[in-house]
Amino acid sequence: MFPDLSMPGVDLVLPDFSWLRDNAERVEACVLTHGHEDHVGALPFLLRDLRFPIYGSALTLGLARNRIEEAGLLGRTQLIPVADGERRWIGPFDVEFIPVAHSVPHGFAIAIHTPQGTILHSGDWKIDLTPVDGRRTDLGRIGAIATTEGIRLLLADSTNAEEPGYTVSEREVGGALRRLFGENRRQRVIVACFASHLHRIQEIADAAIEHGRVLATLGRSMAKNVTLGRQLGLLQIPDTSLVDIERIGDFPPERVCVISTGSQGEPMSALALMAAGENRFVKLGSGDTVIISAHPIPGNEHSVSQVIDGIHRLGADVVHSGLAPVHVSGHAKQGEIKTLLSVAHPEYFIPVHGEFRHLTHHSRLAMEMGVPDDHVLLCEDGDVVELTDAGLDFAGEVPAGYLYVDGIVGDVGQGVLRDRRVLAEEGVVVVVVTVAARTGEIVAGPEIITRGWVYAPEAESLIEEACKVIAVSLEEAAAKGATDFDTLRRHVRQAAARFVHERTRRRPMIVPVVMEV
Ligand SMILES: [Zn+2]
Ligand SMILES: [Zn+2]
């Protein structure tokens, strides 16, 4: 998962691997449906604890490989490429890789043929009847399995289960981009999109080359993925059309197209730096048009909006998905979801991949499509389900929390996150006091140091008053014979917290520091 605003300072969120660690010898392999960051990003962390081979399409493995290599863990795995439609034994599992369309090329649905029947996992998918690479979701194969052996259990992507209708074909974006390049003939054009969206990058490249422009990539992952895509033959960009970003100044602006990362407004990304006027290679001005060919992931709306503001302030123009059809979703909407349910005709159904509300809507769609109510299981992370002769049912729970990764510290835990939220919202009050060890009498202080509660230089009298109140509380405690550390600290904390709340209605973090002499 990506961290949100309730996780200050957290770089990324991983699933709790403890169950996998405890069952390491039972892990045969990892099967990847596709190469998106939220599907492969945790592998370098899991590979620290476990060794296992990884199966996926060549592109998926290429995208995952970058991360594993950076972590120096390639030696702990074997990357095994599989082709469209391939069927393989992986340990005791008979696994089939079925092509699906998505917003990164070469995704798979996975059919696992077991003695309890066939289990189909959709992966992230949609139905695009005119995909950029011509590789359609193989509904024919899914239908063939359904009508021969039958599909016992379907697990499917719920992301767009609330959206009626059908997702628009990726090809429509290509048309919109071509129109925009036509309308902005005299401008330099910068397009931001996901670095893994090679189909989108192809459409941008085609539109730019058609309008006589050269292409330059900006952002580390964009450069890497364009190289990978061209190596695998998934991206057709002639050498003569690619120039180094440092050389774009050699061309007139109307002959240049920059393909950049940062479409989610990520703070240090190429696009965010451009919007702040701090990008080394691209200085934006009135001669530029920036196309944001993506839709903000929930939680990123504000960052994207700030980036758009920044670009406008520099005098450049911005086109985003709210103004022109420069983006389409990679996930099936209700029409496609119903099509899959109809073709797969599963005996049991579990909605996966989405927030709880998406899972709920997806469950309803399955029931609407004829899956009996008691054959639909709405599961949450950690639920164990068992498929037996008797059917599908819950069979306990395993630990499935989150690990909050912060730099190289590793998991910072819920306690640290709670502290960070209090510090961010309420600030901190440190009370330092020195007492005599034997009597508990105050020798020095109390002194208050605060950040984020009140601005100390302007609140001198309030702070003095607080010190007095705390001193009184300590004297009372000492009079009653309290001399031990913990009791004194508790008195300091209670007195300070009560005073701060009564006088300012705030609840900052109170840190009592009691020293003994
Ligand atoms: Zn995906
Ligand atoms: Zn996904």
Q: What is the 3-state secondary structure (H, E, C) of 280-297?
A: CCCCCCCCEEEEECCCCC
Other CB atoms within 10 A of residue 269 CB: 24
Nearest ligand to residue 159 Cα: 2
pLDDT tens digits, 305-345: 999 999 999 999 999 999 999 999 999 999 999 999 999 99
Using the mean position of ligand 1's atoms as its centre, give its distance from the Cα of residue 34 in Å.
7
- Strand positions, DSSP E, 148-255: 151-157, 188-192, 214-218
On the question of pLDDT at 45 being above 70, the answer is: yes
Using the mean position of ligand 1's atoms as its centre, give its distance from the Cα of residue 296 in Å.
14
- Strand positions, DSSP E, 132-269: 151-157, 188-192, 214-218, 256-260
Dihedral angle, C-alpha 139, 1, 4, 12, nearest 10 °: -150
Query: What's the pLDDT score for residue 408?
Result: 64
Please tell me the distance from the alpha carbon of residue 84 to that of residue 97, in angstroms, as a whole number: 6
Q: Report long-range pairs for 453-459 (Cβ below 8 Å, ≥24 apart).
A: 453/426, 453/427, 453/428, 453/429, 453/500, 453/504, 453/506, 453/508, 454/504
CA dist list (Å): 44 to 2, 22, 23, 40, 68:
16, 18, 18, 9, 5
Q: Are 146 and 72 contacting, i.e. CB atoms less than 8 angstroms apart?
A: no
On the question of pLDDT at 6 being above 90, the answer is: no
Non-local CB neighbours of 469 within 8 Å, separated by 6+ positions: 495, 496, 499
Query: What's the pLDDT score for residue 13?
Result: 85
Query: What's the pLDDT score for residue 95?
Result: 98
Q: Are 299 and 5 contacting, i.e. CB atoms less than 8 angstroms apart?
A: yes
Query: What's the pLDDT score for residue 459?
Result: 80
Burial class (CB in 10 A: 0-12, 13-18, 19+), 487: middle
Nearest ligand to residue 103 Cα: 1
Kindly report whether the global pTM for this prediction surpasses the value 0.75: yes
Using the mean position of ligand 1's atoms as its centre, give its distance from the Cα of residue 311 in Å.
28
**Cα angle at 302 between 301 and 304, to 5 degrees?**
65
Q: DSSP characters for 22-72?
A: HTGGG---EE-S---HHHHTTHHHHHHH----EEE-HHHHHHHHHHHHHTT
pLDDT tens digits, 214-233: 999 999 999 999 999 999 99
Using the mean position of ligand 2's atoms as its centre, give its distance from the Cα of residue 136 in Å.
18
Nearest ligand to residue 107 Cα: 1
- CA 437 and chain centroid, separation: 53
Using the mean position of ligand 2's atoms as its centre, give its distance from the Cα of residue 291 in Å.
24
Residue 458 token pair: 């302007």
Q: Facing residues of 109 across strands?
A: 98
Query: What's the pLDDT score for residue 75?
Result: 95
Please tell me the distance from the alpha carbon of residue 350 to that of residue 387, in angstroms, as a whole number: 12
On the question of pLDDT at 133 being above 60, the answer is: yes
Using the mean position of ligand 1's atoms as its centre, give its distance from the Cα of residue 327 in Å.
15
Query: What's the pLDDT score for residue 55?
Result: 98
Q: Are 406 and 11 contacting, i.e. CB atoms less than 8 angstroms apart?
A: yes
Query: What's the pLDDT score for residue 358?
Result: 97
Nearest ligand to residue 353 Cα: 2
Using the mean position of ligand 1's atoms as its centre, give its distance from the Cα of residue 354 in Å.
11
Using the mean position of ligand 2's atoms as its centre, give its distance from the Cα of residue 168 in Å.
18
Query: What's the pLDDT score for residue 317?
Result: 97
Q: Facing residues of 120 across strands?
A: 111, 154
Cis peptide before 446 (omega within 30 of 0): yes
Which stretch of 127-136, 195-204, 488-497 has the lowest confidence by average pLDDT?
488-497
On average, the pLDDT of the chain sits at 93
Nearest ligand to residue 330 Cα: 1
Q: Are 431 and 511 contacting, i.e. CB atoms less than 8 angstroms apart?
A: yes
Using the mean position of ligand 1's atoms as its centre, give its distance from the Cα of residue 62 in Å.
15
Non-local CB neighbours of 313 within 8 Å, separated by 6+ positions: none
Query: What's the pLDDT score for residue 412?
Result: 73
pLDDT tens digits, 58-95: 999 999 998 899 889 999 999 999 999 999 999 999 99
Using the mean position of ligand 1's atoms as its centre, give its distance from the Cα of residue 464 in Å.
57
Using the mean position of ligand 1's atoms as its centre, give its distance from the Cα of residue 35 in Å.
7
On the question of pLDDT at 2 being above 90, the answer is: no
Percent of all residues in the chain with a pLDDT value above 70, rounded to a whole number: 99
On the question of pLDDT at 409 being above 60, the answer is: no
Nearest ligand to residue 196 Cα: 1
Residues recognised as catalytic: 157, 331
